[in-house]
Structure 1
């Protein structure tokens, strides 16, 4: 995730980060500029259309549709940000749940072998969930001294949750914890699976294809018809104006595409790897 100072807003104008949409859209902006110049040349130099030409009235359509496209893009970006923020809340819950489980175990457990198991296994859930959401392959050994024996053909976070509950249940069977303590620890472990399910729902449920495709087509045809009407009032200045309008509209769509899946490897995605490392450090401190 990009780190920046939100108060130092002047530098944003003159600095182009690699996550900025300007670089991604530059080839298309050049094409739009040449296209607008070509339309302007044909209308003013080749066909020599007059001010009374009906082509000039095309700009009325853009005025009517401008409000519609602004609503669509506002809804698009808000929906994408909601998905990003929900993902952040889920990982915040995972941090708190991991701490709560570790704090309770640090008081309950007296056997150092049991404490060592949870010291390594609890952070493993966050680490594997991070890689599970990124669809990365993991090794059998995530932490030194802990053989997880994971079957990569199965749901990996579920296997870690099963190991945690199996250990808690074994401690109950051996009399190391009481029934009340078993219920308390069970609720904490169950919360891990709840977080995993919520993140998978975000990951596996993209914005409906028809909606996303319609916005892209709308932006494309809206921008491609802009030069026809505005050439009469702007002349060749229509080139930078149309390019700028395309940059604004397309950038909003690109930003929405990037943040709607907050568990990827884009610059603005959630730092889930860093969060999982923080969880590991906190659990080791507690246990």
Structure 2
């Protein structure tokens, strides 16, 4: 995730970072600029259309459709940001629940081996969930003599199962009471709830037909702009159309990037860093 100073305007304007849409769109912007220039040249120099030509009235269509495309893009980026922000809230809950579980265990447990077990296992859940959501390879060996089952694909569930199994063993060995078992069970269960909510975001993208329609809408909207505006702008229609395309296409690109907040793009959530912070906090508490 990109860290930045919100008050540094000049950095935003003149610096191009890896995730900047300008880099991605630059080849298309060049092509559209050439296309717009050719259309402007044909209308002004070759076809020599008069001011009374019906082609000039295409701008009426652009005026009507401009409001529609702005609504579509506003809904698109708001939907994507909602997914990004929900993902951040879920990982914030994981941080708090990990701390709460560690605080309660630090008070309840007196055996150092038991404390050491949870000191390692609680942060492991966040680390494995991070890799699980990114689709990265997860090692079978968790720590010491605890290994994950290789034939099970859902590693976070295995870690949650190991944690609950340990909590249940503590109850059976009379190290915790029934009331404490209920409290700790709720904390372990919250981990699985967070995992399921993250998977819901990960596995439910924006409907394909909606995303495809917006791309087609932007393309045909921009491709028809030079025909109407060449009358009033002449050759300047090329940079104007390129700028309009840059604005509209950038909104779609930004939406695509943040709608999956658990990936490895520049603006995705720093889940690896959050998992490292959980490890640091739990080790301090236990």
| Range of TM-score over shorter length | over 0.9
- CA distance in 1 between partners of 2:149 and 2:135 (Å): 15
Q: Which residue of 2 aligns with 1:203?
A: 202
Stretches of structure 2 that go unaligned for 5 or more consecutive residues are none
Q: Which residue of 1 aligns with 2:2?
A: 2
TM superposition score normalised by structure 2: 0.98
Deviations 1:39-76 (A, max 9, x none): 11111111111111110000100000000000000010
Q: Is the 8 A contact 1:101 1:185 kept in 2?
A: yes
- CA distance in 1 between partners of 2:52 and 2:96 (Å): 68
- CA distance in 1 between partners of 2:146 and 2:164 (Å): 17
Q: Is the 8 A contact 1:123 1:279 kept in 2?
A: yes
- CA distance in 2 between partners of 1:153 and 1:47 (Å): 68
1:161-200 map, 5 Å: 161-200=160-199
Q: Which residue of 2 aligns with 1:20?
A: 20
Q: Is the 8 A contact 1:168 1:185 kept in 2?
A: yes
Q: Is the 8 A contact 2:142 2:148 kept in 1?
A: no
Q: Which residue of 2 aligns with 1:133?
A: 133
The offset of 1:142, in angstroms, is: 4.8
- CA distance in 2 between partners of 1:233 and 1:92 (Å): 53
> What SS does structure 2 have at the residue aligned with 1:2?
coil
- CA distance in 2 between partners of 1:269 and 1:154 (Å): 24
- CA distance in 1 between partners of 2:258 and 2:145 (Å): 35
Q: Which residue of 1 aligns with 2:55?
A: 55
Q: Which residue of 2 aligns with 1:264?
A: 263
Q: Is the 8 A contact 2:148 2:158 kept in 1?
A: no
Q: Which residue of 2 aligns with 1:80?
A: 80
Q: Which residue of 1 aligns with 2:149?
A: 150
Q: Which residue of 2 aligns with 1:104?
A: 104
- CA distance in 2 between partners of 1:195 and 1:258 (Å): 22
The offset of 1:163, in angstroms, is: 0.3
Q: Which residue of 2 aligns with 1:120?
A: 120
> What SS does structure 2 have at the residue aligned with 1:225?
helix
Q: Is the 8 A contact 1:120 1:146 kept in 2?
A: no
Runs ≥4 residues deviating over 4 A: none
